[in-house]
Amino acid sequence: MNRREFIGSTLLTSAAAAVRLGAQSTSQPTPALPQAPGRIKVTGMKAIGVTWEPNSDRPYVFVKIETDQGIVGWGEATLEGKAGAVIQTVDDLKTFVIGADPMRVEHIWQDMYIHAFYRGGPILVSAMSGIDQALWDIRGKALNMPVYRLLGGPFDARGVRGYYHTNANANNPEAMARLRESANELGVTAFKGGIPGYYEWIATNDRIKAAVTGLQRLREGLGDKIDIGIDFHAKTSPSAASIICKEVEPLNLMFIEEPCPPENYEAMAKIARRTTTPIATGERLITHYAVQKLLSDGAVDIIQTDCNHVGGITALWKVAAMCEASGVLMAPHACEGPIGAIATLHVDASIPNFAVQEICSGVNPTAKERLWEEWMGFPAMRMVNGYFPLPTKPGLGFDIDEAKLAKLPFQGTIPMARPLFPDGSVAAW
């Protein structure tokens, strides 16, 4: 008798004593929710790894789900440095999806999560995220509506307000002038930058001054009308971050992101309490359950969960609902492929506490953005007058050319950057 059988038999023999809600609910759970006849059914699912750049730490992992009614759904499960594991996990999850009714997205989500027993973690939930997005794509197509309509949106006909990354050197006035000019031409109203180098547990005067001066020059270069978010990328300790956050208060930044690593909420809360600069975090949080403590600790002003890691559209919407009740805004992370980013737009367009949407691109398209356009047939995740236009077609609102993906087959996993301090110990980047 294995452990599960043992537990099952114990329940059966002590049914009268079991905690229960009602007489009917003591019946044994069925393996799957019965299907009503004539309902749409999933017939196939696969993960497609796309090595779009030989040295990228994030080959895209796309999920394709097929149904018996010809409707196909696409989602994204890209997980930096763990592509192989996620592809395998999507395969492991076939049992939960093939044969199921794709309209039941909440049910399938709960089934994959609760019946994993070992809940959460980025690998499982990134795989779930890709599946969830593909199911929402199917749901929208089956109901003949863009997904944001199913969620009660949109709020704004212009689309979703966004920001690009600034890769210009803040210490180079000409580069800053060019960036500002591009922003004006394109109508871009917000940017995100970073702080240079690596920071030890206690930062030296020299490092602090370099960071603060860089941010001052960024503000001067972009002017007062552009919103600026700054990503510390959790490479600062709470001690170092508190000092820099305090020093840059006069710059009225839109937010400072991940001023310390995300696991310790009290540390994040300590930084947040010491500054009036809004604190943003959350791109590494897995599921809406992980957001609760951050909110109740008052440790955060803007949440940035990622549609490809938090649990897809289902969990991202739930995160937004939880933040709404606490007066916290949403600025979701989007730094993988185009499918997850577009899925995110649908949530953004439907929530009252949306702030601004990221895309890890600059003002000028590169090979990556051209590739996205080639796959999707439109300039995916490029802003028009500072807004990402909303898809108008049913589902997530795009068709992807699978033959073009097949030209860039999966070449294996590459880890993320692995920097070291001068003394040889491990640095965050």
Partner 1 sequence: MPTIVSAKRSRLAALAAQSAQTAVSKPQLPIRNVTARAVKEPASGRQYVLLKIETDGGPIGWGETAVAMDAATLVARLSTFRSLVGQDALASQAVDAHLVRSSAPAYARAAINMALVDILGKVAKAPSYDVLAGGTRNKARALAPLHGTDRASLTASLERARSRGFRAFIVDVQIPAGPVRSREFYRSHVDLLTALRTAGGATAEDFVLDCAGRTTASEGSVMAAALESFHPLWIDEPADKINEEALRKISRESVTPLGWGRWIESADEFQNLLRIQAIDVLRPDMARYPMANIRKAATLAEAHYTAFAPYHNGGPLATAAALHIAASTPNFVIQQVPFPADDRDIAMREALAGKGLEVPVEGYLPLPTRPGLGVDINEDAIARYASA
With respect to partner 1, which residue has the nearer C-beta, 203 or 248? 248
Q: Quick check: 296 binds partner 1 (CB under 8 A)? A: yes
Q: Quick check: 154 binds partner 1 (CB under 8 A)? A: yes
Q: Quick check: 153 binds partner 1 (CB under 8 A)? A: yes
Cα distances (angstroms) measured from residue 42 to each of 46, 94, 216, 393, 396: 12, 10, 54, 21, 18
With respect to partner 1, which residue has the nearer C-beta, 21 or 403? 21
Closest distance of CB 352 from partner 1, Å? 5
- Binding span for partner 1 by CB under 8 A among 45-53, 214-222, 233-241, 326-334: 326-334
Cα distances (angstroms) measured from residue 212 to each of 48, 249, 428: 43, 10, 19
Q: Which two tokens stand for residue 287?
A: 């599921």
Catalytic: which of 165, 288, 309, 333?
A: 333
Q: Which of 65, 128, 150, 310 binds partner 1 (CB under 8 A)?
A: 150
CA dist., res. 409 & res. 49, Å (int): 7
- Binding span for partner 1 by CB under 8 A among 3-11, 106-114, 232-240, 421-429: 106-114
DSSP notation for 263-314: T-HHHHHHHHHT-SS-EEE-TT--SGGGHHHHHHTT--SEE--BTTTTTHHH
With respect to partner 1, which residue has the nearer C-beta, 59 or 395? 395
* Listed residue (62, 127, 129) closest to 333, CA to CA: 129
CA dist., res. 255 & res. 378, Å (int): 31
Q: Quick check: 227 binds partner 1 (CB under 8 A)? A: yes
300 and 323 Cβ atoms separated by less than 8 Å: no
With respect to partner 1, which residue has the nearer C-beta, 325 or 426? 325
- Binding span for partner 1 by CB under 8 A among 62-70, 78-86, 320-328, 376-384: 320-328
Q: Quick check: 31 binds partner 1 (CB under 8 A)? A: no
Closest distance of CB 275 from partner 1, Å? 8
Closest distance of CB 218 from partner 1, Å? 18
With respect to partner 1, which residue has the nearer C-beta, 108 or 363? 108
- Binding span for partner 1 by CB under 8 A among 22-30, 73-81, 118-126, 304-312: 22-30
Q: Quick check: 14 binds partner 1 (CB under 8 A)? A: no
Is 115 a known active-site residue? no
Q: Which of 120, 298, 362, 379 binds partner 1 (CB under 8 A)?
A: 298
Cα distances (angstroms) measured from residue 180 to each of 174, 175, 186, 222: 10, 9, 10, 5
Q: Which residues contact 304 (CB under 8 A, 6 or more apart)?
A: 257, 280, 281, 282, 283, 330, 331, 332, 333, 358
Q: Quick check: 168 binds partner 1 (CB under 8 A)? A: no
With respect to partner 1, which residue has the nearer C-beta, 26 or 88? 26
Cα distances (angstroms) measured from residue 45 to each of 74, 124, 129, 134, 238: 10, 16, 14, 10, 44
Is 333 a known active-site residue? yes
* Listed residue (77, 71, 82, 80) closest to 47, CA to CA: 77
Q: Which of 2, 14, 24, 27 binds partner 1 (CB under 8 A)?
A: 24
Q: Quick check: 223 binds partner 1 (CB under 8 A)? A: no
CA dist., res. 369 & res. 349, Å (int): 22
Q: Quick check: 43 binds partner 1 (CB under 8 A)? A: no
In a 13 Å sphere around the CA of 351, the CA atoms on its Cβ side amount to 29
Q: Cis omega before residue 154 (within 30°)?
A: yes
* Listed residue (188, 206, 195) closest to 170, CA to CA: 195
Q: Which of 85, 98, 143, 335 binds partner 1 (CB under 8 A)?
A: 143
CA dist., res. 305 & res. 332, Å (int): 5
Residues that bind partner 1 (CB under 8 A): 21-24, 33-34, 101, 103-108, 110, 139, 142-145, 149-158, 160-161, 227, 254, 276-278, 288-289, 291-292, 295-296, 298, 301-302, 314, 318, 321-322, 324-329, 350-356
Residues marked as catalytic: 233, 333
